[in-house]
Amino acid sequence: MELGQSGIRLTDLKLLLDFYGVTGDHAEPLQLLHVAEVSRRKNVTVQAFPLNAATYVASSYNFIVLRFGEASGVIYVETFADADYLDSPEAVRAYTRLWARLQAAALGPVESRKLILRIVDEIK
């Protein structure tokens, strides 16, 4: 396990990237290179949606599934004008199912790293 800059110990991090609309100067190559490098860590999984994903499962809001040990979890949801924590079992189940659908629609970790590096080459 590694201790991050925030002092929080991350045991597992999963990240889905959506490259919809990422072109030209909108994507910072150094940031994408950093994501590609971090994706090689054992406790990090990065999956990306390809630019032409026909199976993309839309999510209206950014959200994070937070798990604390064996507890059922908490969902942090960001909306356009607000943010909220959801801890009801129904909400946790619904967002966990949505997360599973998003992971299934995204590229695998190796293919995602290749896509990230290809995009970096294209925008340099």
Q: What is the pTM of this model?
A: 0.72
Neighbouring CB atoms inside 10 A of 75's CB total 21
The pLDDT, as a whole number, for residue 3 is 43
**Pick from 99, 78, 95: which is nearest to 87 by CA?**
95
The pLDDT, as a whole number, for residue 93 is 93
23 within 8 A of 120, measured Cβ to Cβ: no
98 within 8 A of 83, measured Cβ to Cβ: no
Residue ranges per structural domain of the chain? 1-51+106-124, 54-105
The pLDDT, as a whole number, for residue 27 is 52
Which stretches in the chain have pLDDT values below 50?
1-4, 20-21
The string of pLDDT tens digits covering residues 43-69 is 889 998 876 665 555 566 788 888 887
